A and B are shown apart, each in its own frame.
Chain A
Amino acid sequence: MYNIYYIERASLDTLYNRLKENYKVFSPVVKESDTKKIDYHYQNLAEGQPLVYNTYRTVEPLKTFFTYPYEKVTDYFTPQKNIIDVIDKTIIFGVKSCDISGHKVQDFVFLEGVEADVLYRLRRENIIFISSDCTDFKEVCHCLAWDILPHPTEGFDLNLSPLNDGYLVEVGSQKGEELIQQHQEYFVPAKGVQISARKNKRENFMERLKRHILPQNLVSKDIVQRLVKEGYNLDTWQQFMLSCVECGGCNLICDTCHCFLLADKKDGSKNAKVRMWDSCQYANFAKVAGGANPLKRRTQRLRNRFMKKFDFFVDNLGFPACCGCGRCIEVCPGKIDIREVLKDLAKKPKP
């Protein structure tokens, strides 16, 4: 069990700026959005500005710090040289519980299996998560449907919970504890009464969130695999596909989607292999030489997205690859809502 500390608001701002001396620090900034609520985006801000506390998740998924939309992954035929000696020590503020849950899928894909992805592993080792409790939500937020709480309980290095004129800081890892020790002048051990106050605040927020989520009667974690399997031949896929414009946004913005395209690039006189985020909603995703394509139709591709999240990952990882962040709902120009697709499967009689 790690410790819990308390830090004053002003001290956190000072610390936030001091950390920039030794780390690349990303934190949320506010951007007006066309929805009713503001959006938060990660930014590497110049020194001297206060830390913005994001009340809910950012627009960008957490994976964006670990694999990039487009990046070179290797040269050709050069000695086993690291293209990665320059990994910045990085701190990310404002990570939310959904992001951390979703990120377990990225860790599973890139760190586990036959061999680990070295690039990913080095980034993982050099990035510190300073997460924080949600104190508000967006309409699309539905973490609770997947039994994910709106405050992180694991997987963070430090977690901030706002309390009066400061924050409770829970330590979640050795890296987190070390960071506190290096800057101990800013922290005092949390008092029991503060920890009880955090519990109350969390419970109150949870009640608010439940009032938003429970009436939606969303599909739950324990039945979702059965639903997508039994619903394989339902017309749900066809029906929801109709507004899909194949932009791939749902995959690209997803905290758990990890697919990428490995391609070759002429890099001046040298050649390189590049990796790009890919989407199973693109027509050529599964196409092979000669033209065969097991995901030829949009209906098959939309279904593929759900089978991957709710069947494949339940079998391989033990839980569904959806963290309820709702980013795919917000981004979709066709207004395809993952919650509604699952609800449709649930309400239709299965063959």
Chain B
Amino acid sequence: MKNIYRPIEAIVEDIIVETPTIKTFVLRPKEDFSFNTGQFIELTLPGIGEAPFTPSSDPNIKDKIGVTIMNVGRVTSLLHSVSKDTPVGIRGPYGKGYPLEKFEGKDILIVGGGVGLAPLRSLILMLFSQIDRYNKIVLRYGARTSQDMVYKNSIPEWAKKKKVDIVTTVDVGDSIWKGNVGLVTTILKDLPIDLNKVISVVCGPPIMMKFVTLKLLDLAFKPKDIYLSMEKNMSCGLGKCGHCRIGRFYACKDGPVFTYEQLKDIHDIWD
């Protein structure tokens, strides 16, 4: 019988500095481990603590997992101080992930905010690997400043692919940044999408997701076609510890990806 709390060992194989506060850790699990895009894992520093992250890597790659982590709390700050070859623990994968079968034949609008692009990167790479199934991928990404943008080197590469349309923006401009300045909602106009066959996937800070959702509704997106990442205080990952309740759901087992249709009648979802 499987002990649901037991982590498997993984070795930190590489560390990529994305921004001054964000690093991507490439982990090599010592046991078989795979995930579907949008599912999350619990990553542990043994003896120190555990936190939930949605992998940012291509789920087709089976021997390694990339996890992009912002230094914001106790566990993440300690994770930022680990070096290569450190053993860490992983549990999971948990949650439902993105229902890719519902995306087929559609225009897929992906809206990311800050480090919220991490789970979306995994989705984007998955979509690229079977691009024939989708009509178009439209990415709109905003970060606080140009320094806070993740995957700076990948984004121009993605933009060169066929069926892909990418626009980025920063909230606050600076001397290096030559692109758009303004919140991500300001680049959600004149979208090259067909409203009759579009779905949208949004991930970012709650306040960003709130205003993007309102904007999309305003653009006549249907609540069932807006996918949101509700990343709460997911701890056990299996709907037992009780910390990540959203109305009648748990983010860990019923999400972390929900449609706005599922959430729209629940109080205080953006808190």
Chain A residues proximal to chain B, CB less than 8 Å: 73-77, 80, 82-83, 109-110, 113-119, 121, 232, 258-267, 271-273, 275, 278, 280, 285-294, 296, 300, 304, 308, 311-312, 315-316
B227 CB to closest chain A CB, in angstroms? Answer: 20
Q: Which residues of A contact B232 (CB under 8 A)?
A: 286, 288, 294
Is the beta-carbon distance between A115 and B238 smaller than 8 angstroms? yes
Is the beta-carbon distance between B9 and A77 smaller than 8 angstroms? yes
- 1/0 per residue, CB under 8 A from A, across B66-106: the answer is 00001011111000000000010100001000000000000
Is the beta-carbon distance between A80 and B3 smaller than 8 angstroms? yes
Is the beta-carbon distance between A292 and B206 smaller than 8 angstroms? yes
Checking A76, A119, A278, A316 against B46 with a beta-carbon cut-off of 8 angstroms, the contacting residue is A76
Checking B1, B70, B72, B245 against A118 with a beta-carbon cut-off of 8 angstroms, the contacting residue is B1
Is the beta-carbon distance between B248 and A311 smaller than 8 angstroms? yes
Instruction: Say whether B247 faces chain A, with CB atoms less than 8 Å apart.
Output: yes
Is the beta-carbon distance between B240 and A117 smaller than 8 angstroms? yes
Is the beta-carbon distance between B47 and A271 smaller than 8 angstroms? yes
7 A-B pairs with C-beta separation under 8 A: A76-B9, A77-B8, A114-B238, A114-B253, A289-B76, A292-B206, A316-B248
Checking A115, A260, A312 against B248 with a beta-carbon cut-off of 8 angstroms, the contacting residue is A312
Residue of A whose beta carbon sits closest to that of B234: A288
- Pick out which of these stretches binds chain A: B48-56, B120-128, B148-156, B175-183: B48-56
Q: Which residues of A contact B231 (CB under 8 A)?
A: 288
Q: Which residues of A contact B248 (CB under 8 A)?
A: 311-312, 315-316
B25 CB to closest chain A CB, in angstroms? Answer: 15
In the complex, A119→B4 CA distance in Å?
A: 9
Instruction: Say whether B36 faces chain A, with CB atoms less than 8 Å apart.
Output: no
Checking A74, A80, A316 against B5 with a beta-carbon cut-off of 8 angstroms, the contacting residue is A74
Residue of B whose beta carbon sits closest to that of A263: B49
B5 CB to closest chain A CB, in angstroms? Answer: 4
B64 CB to closest chain A CB, in angstroms? Answer: 19
Is the beta-carbon distance between B51 and A289 smaller than 8 angstroms? yes
Is the beta-carbon distance between A76 and B89 smaller than 8 angstroms? yes
- 1/0 per residue, CB under 8 A from A, across B193-237: the answer is 000000000000010000000000000000000000001110110
Given contacts A264-B46, A286-B232, A312-B247, contact A259 B241 (CB under 8 A): yes
Given contacts A259-B243, A308-B245, contact A232 B267 (CB under 8 A): yes
Is the beta-carbon distance between A80 and B2 smaller than 8 angstroms? yes
Is the beta-carbon distance between A114 and B239 smaller than 8 angstroms? yes
Q: Which residues of B contact A294 (CB under 8 A)?
A: 232, 268, 271
Checking A113, A119, A308 against B253 with a beta-carbon cut-off of 8 angstroms, the contacting residue is A113
A69 CB to closest chain B CB, in angstroms? Answer: 15
Checking B3, B9, B235 against A262 with a beta-carbon cut-off of 8 angstroms, the contacting residue is B235
Instruction: Say whether B7 faces chain A, with CB atoms less than 8 Å apart.
Output: yes
Q: Which residues of B contact A272 (CB under 8 A)?
A: 47
Chain B residues proximal to chain A, CB less than 8 Å: 1-9, 44-51, 70, 72-76, 87, 89, 94, 206, 231-233, 235-236, 238-245, 247-248, 253, 267-268, 271
Q: Which residues of A contact B6 (CB under 8 A)?
A: 74-76, 80, 273
Is the beta-carbon distance between A74 and B242 smaller than 8 angstroms? no
B75 CB to closest chain A CB, in angstroms? Answer: 7
In the complex, A280→B49 CA distance in Å?
A: 20
Q: Which residues of B contact A117 (CB under 8 A)?
A: 4, 240
Is the beta-carbon distance between A286 and B233 smaller than 8 angstroms? yes
Checking A116, A285, A292, A312 against B243 with a beta-carbon cut-off of 8 angstroms, the contacting residue is A285
A203 CB to closest chain B CB, in angstroms? Answer: 38
In the complex, A77→B11 CA distance in Å?
A: 12
Is the beta-carbon distance between B73 and A289 smaller than 8 angstroms? yes
Q: Which residues of A contact B47 (CB under 8 A)?
A: 76, 264-267, 271-272
In the complex, A300→B271 CA distance in Å?
A: 11
Residue of A whose beta carbon sits closest to that of B42: A262
Is the beta-carbon distance between B236 and A262 smaller than 8 angstroms? yes
A22 CB to closest chain B CB, in angstroms? Answer: 24
Is the beta-carbon distance between B51 and A261 smaller than 8 angstroms? no
In the complex, A340→B206 CA distance in Å?
A: 35
Residue of B whose beta carbon sits closest to that of A270: B47
In the complex, A75→B7 CA distance in Å?
A: 9
Is the beta-carbon distance between B242 and A77 smaller than 8 angstroms? no
B176 CB to closest chain A CB, in angstroms? Answer: 26
Given A260-B241, A288-B232, 6 extra CB contacts under 8 A: A74-B7, A75-B6, A117-B4, A263-B49, A267-B47, A291-B72
Is the beta-carbon distance between A290 and B50 smaller than 8 angstroms? no
B26 CB to closest chain A CB, in angstroms? Answer: 19
Residue from B206, B238, B243, B248 having most chain A Cβ neighbours under 10 A: B243
Q: Which residues of A contact B44 (CB under 8 A)?
A: 264, 273
Among all A-B residue pairs, the 7 with the closest Cβ atoms? A289-B73, A259-B242, A271-B47, A315-B248, A294-B271, A271-B46, A290-B72
In the complex, A83→B5 CA distance in Å?
A: 12
Q: Which residues of A contact B253 (CB under 8 A)?
A: 113-114
Residue from B5, B9, B76 having most chain A Cβ neighbours under 10 A: B5
Is the beta-carbon distance between B240 and A258 smaller than 8 angstroms? yes
In the complex, A149→B235 CA distance in Å?
A: 36
In the complex, A292→B233 CA distance in Å?
A: 10
Given contacts A258-B240, A292-B206, contact A273 B51 (CB under 8 A): no
